[in-house]
Structure 1
Amino acid sequence: MYKNEPIFLQPTLHERIWGGQKLKTDYGYPIPSDHTGEAWVISAHPHGPSIIANGELKGKTLLDAWNEHGELFNKKAGEDEEYPLLVKILDANDDLSVQVHPNDDFARSVEGVPYGKTECWYILSAEENAELVLGHHAKTRKEFEKMVDAGEWDKLLRRVNVKTGDFVYVPSGTIHAIGKGIVILETQQSSDITYRVYDYDRTDANGNKRELHLERSKQVTNVPHIDAKVEQTVETFGDLTEKKLVEEQYFTVYHWNLNGKTKRNCHHDFLQVSVVEGKAVLTIGDKTFELKKGMHFILPNSINEYELKGQAEFIVSHV
C-alpha cells in the first residue's frame, strides 16, 4: 500500500468572518463562499480531516489512514496517540481576532485534548505595509491583566510588519493575530483550541459579537513576551536549496526552492509536502506524479528515495 506512491490530499475548507476568495483565485480550491478563510490541507483533526485523493484509500480521510494504517507513518503498534501535525492555508481578507493558545499540559488538564498549539507561519503573500500582532508590551502579569481588563489594546499589543517570504514562529502562550491582506501557510500541532482575547468589537450577520475567552487567555499567556529565537540553516541538494525555517520540539519545517533536479532520501517517519509555487515532477521508482501549486501530499514511511524535477517552491515538515 502506497509503497511507491505519495498520499495526495484534498483540503477541507472553512468559512470565516475574516475570510476572502484567494483560496480560489490563487490556489484553485472550490470555496463554499466569498468569506472562506481556511483550507486545512494536511489534516487528521476531527474538525476537518483531509480527504485522500489517490490509491487504495481514495475517498477515506487522513484520520482513517492514521487509525487503520499506522504503518504508513511508522506509528508504533498499540500507540493510541493522535496524528501530531496540521497544515493550513489562511486567507486573511480582514484582521483575525487577537488570540492565544495553551500548551500541552493546559490543553490536557483543562480541555481534555491531547495537544496544545504551537504553530508557525510562512507568509505566502502580503500586501504592502501588512502587519500582524505578535506578543505584547506588558512587563508583568498584573500589568497585562490590568490592560486587558481596561481594553487598552493599542497600548498592549505589539505589531510587526511582514512581507512575502517571511517566517514567524509562534509558540503556545504567544498573543498573536494575522492582519488583513496576508495569506499564510501554517504548520502547527494538531489542535483546534483558540482563546480569543480581542475581536475589534465586530458583530456577525445577526449583530452578535463573537465570544471572548479572557480568563483562560490570562492563564496561558506568556508574560513578559520574549520573541522566540530560531536558528535557520541553508543546504543545497543538487538543484534544490533547502532552508530550515525551524527545528524544535513539535516539528521541523523547511522551505525548498527547486530549480532543476534533485534526488533525496527520506529519513523521517513521514514527510508532509505542500507545493506553494510552480510545477514539478515527482519520481518514485518507476512512477511519476505531476505536481503544481496548491497540491499537498505525504510521503509515507515506505518511501526511501525520490526525485524531484522542475521549477517549484515547497513547504515541507515532519515531526
Structure 2
Amino acid sequence: MNEVLLLKPVFHEKIWGGQKLAQFGYKLPATDIGECWAISGHPHGTNTIENGDYAGQTLAQLWQDHRELFDNMPGDRFPLLTKILDAEASLSVQVHPGDAYAKEHAHDLGKTECWYIIDADPGAYLIYGHHAKTKAEFEDLVHAGQWDKLLRKQPVKTGDFVYVPSGTVHALNKGIMALETQQSSDTTYRLYDYDRIDKTTGEKRELHLKDAFNVTQIPFEPVAANTTSKTVGASTLTTLVSAPVSKYFNVYRWVIKDEVAFKKAFPCTLISVLHGQGKLQVGSTTYELKRGDHLLLTAKASAWTLSGDMDIIASVPGKQAQ
C-alpha cells in the first residue's frame, strides 16, 4: 500500500512565531513556533512517514531509495516544500536567490514560493516588492534605513494568494497565517530585521546585504498568478498558479463539498487539509482526513476521490522541478 504517504509535521521555533498552529490539532513545543514543515524532504527538516510499508522512514529516504514512487523524477532532493507559517510578529524583510546563484553561493536550490493566506487580522499587509528604480537607489535606501520609502506594502485578507518568484523582496507581517508552497530550499538573504535581538545569541540576527543586493529584482515587477476556478457539483476547484507563470509548481485550492473524482496527471500530489474533515478513497482503501493532515499521493495512485466538507491546498511539481 504505497499510494498514500501520511506525514508527521516538523516544527521550527522562530523569533516571530507563537502558538497559533495548535489550532490545527498539533501538540506544539512550549516555545515560539513559527513554521510547520508539513511536506518536506529538506535536510533541515524532513517528515517521517506514518503509515504503510515505509512507516518510520523519512521522505528524504524514500526519495533516495524508492524514486519509482515519484515517477523517477530527477534531482538530489524532493523538489517541493509545504509549510504553514504563523506570523505572531513580522518576519524579516528578505529575498531569495534563483537556482544559479543559490547553487554557486549556497549549495542549495533557488527559492520561488507562494502564499495562500489562511487567516489575516484586519489591516494586515505584506511587504511585496519595492519602489527603487535602480540598483544604486535601492542600495542607498537600504543603507539609509529609509524602509517606508523603499518597501512596497500590499494589504491582504483571508483567502488571498500571492506568488513570490525568486528575487522578490518580501515579508509576511504580524497577524498573518499562511500556507507556503516553495522549492525545497532554506536559503534566505535578510535585508532588515527590525534590529531584533536573538535570545539564543543575545545579538542582532545576521543580515546578508551583499547577497540580497546581488539577487533582488530591480525595478520590481509583480507577477500575476492568473488564478482560475471551476465547479464540480457543489465543490469548487481553483488553480491558484500553474505554468507558464510558475515553472516549479502548480498549486490548487480544492473546496470539497461532496464527492470529487481525480485522475493522476503528475508524478505526485501534495495535499494539506486546512479546514473541515472528509475522506480520501484510493482503490479499496479509505483514509479519514481532518484539519491539519498532510499527505502525499505517490505515482502509484492512478485515481482517487475526495469527499466530505474540506478546504484543501494541493500542489504538484512543475516541469522545471522534474
Aligned to 1:46: 43
Counterpart of 1:96 (choices 87, 91, 94) is 91
State the distance in 2 between where 1:249 and 1:160 align: 24
Aligned to 1:108: 103
Aligned to 1:118: 112
State the distance in 2 between where 1:177 and 1:94 align: 11
Q: Which letter does structure 2 place at the counterpart of 1:68?
A: D
Contact 2:115 2:181 (C-alpha < 8 Å) held by counterparts? yes
Post-superposition Cα deviations, 1:4-43, rounded to whole Å, max 9, x if no partner, equal: x41000111000010000111x111121223000000000
Aligned to 1:273: 271
1:205-224 alignment, distance < 5 Å: 205=199, 207-224=202-219
1:57-72 alignment, distance < 5 Å: 57-72=54-69
Is 1:134 matched up with 2:107? Answer: no
Aligned to 2:189: 195
> What secondary structure is seen at the aligned counterpart in 2 of 1:224?
coil
Aligned to 1:31: 28
State the distance in 2 between where 1:230 and 1:120 align: 10
Post-superposition Cα deviations, 1:79-116, rounded to whole Å, max 9, x if no partner, equal: 45321100000000000000000000101122222x10
State the distance in 2 between where 1:70 and 1:236 align: 34
Post-superposition Cα deviations, 1:139-165, rounded to whole Å, max 9, x if no partner, equal: 111100111111111111111111000
Contact 2:8 2:48 (C-alpha < 8 Å) held by counterparts? yes
State the distance in 2 between where 1:211 and 1:178 align: 18
Counterpart of 1:226 (choices 215, 221, 225) is 221
Moved more, 292-301 or 147-156: 147-156
Q: CA deviation at 1:204?
A: 2.1
Post-superposition Cα deviations, 1:171-210, rounded to whole Å, max 9, x if no partner, equal: 0000001000100000000000000100001112253100
Q: Which letter does structure 2 place at the counterpart of 1:252?
A: N
Q: CA deviation at 1:239?
A: 3.6
State the distance in 2 between where 1:112 and 1:208 align: 26
Counterpart of 1:155 (choices 146, 149, 159) is 149
Post-superposition Cα deviations, 1:239-273, rounded to whole Å, max 9, x if no partner, equal: 43111000120000011011111111111100000
State the distance in 2 between where 1:187 and 1:33 align: 26
Aligned to 2:237: 242
C-alpha RMSD of matched pairs (Å): 1.1
Aligned to 1:256: 254
State the distance in 2 between where 1:29 and 1:188 align: 22
Contact 1:41 1:50 (C-alpha < 8 Å) held by counterparts? yes
Contact 1:242 1:255 (C-alpha < 8 Å) held by counterparts? yes
Contact 1:238 1:263 (C-alpha < 8 Å) held by counterparts? no
Following TM superposition, the consecutive aligned residue runs of length 4 or more in structure 1 with deviations greater than 3 angstroms are none
How much identity, in percent, do the aligned residues show? 49
State the distance in 2 between where 1:47 and 1:37 align: 15
Contact 2:162 2:225 (C-alpha < 8 Å) held by counterparts? no
State the distance in 2 between where 1:289 and 1:111 align: 40
Is 1:306 matched up with 2:304? Answer: yes
Is 1:182 matched up with 2:176? Answer: yes
Aligned residues between the structures: 313
> What secondary structure is seen at the aligned counterpart in 1 of 2:7?
strand
Contact 2:260 2:307 (C-alpha < 8 Å) held by counterparts? yes
Counterpart of 2:283 (choices 285, 293, 310) is 285
Contact 1:92 1:180 (C-alpha < 8 Å) held by counterparts? yes
State the distance in 1 between where 2:20 and 2:263 align: 34
Post-superposition Cα deviations, 1:123-143, rounded to whole Å, max 9, x if no partner, equal: 000111111100011011110
- Identify unmatched segments of 5+ residues in structure 1: none
State the distance in 2 between where 1:111 and 1:300 align: 30
Contact 2:41 2:59 (C-alpha < 8 Å) held by counterparts? yes
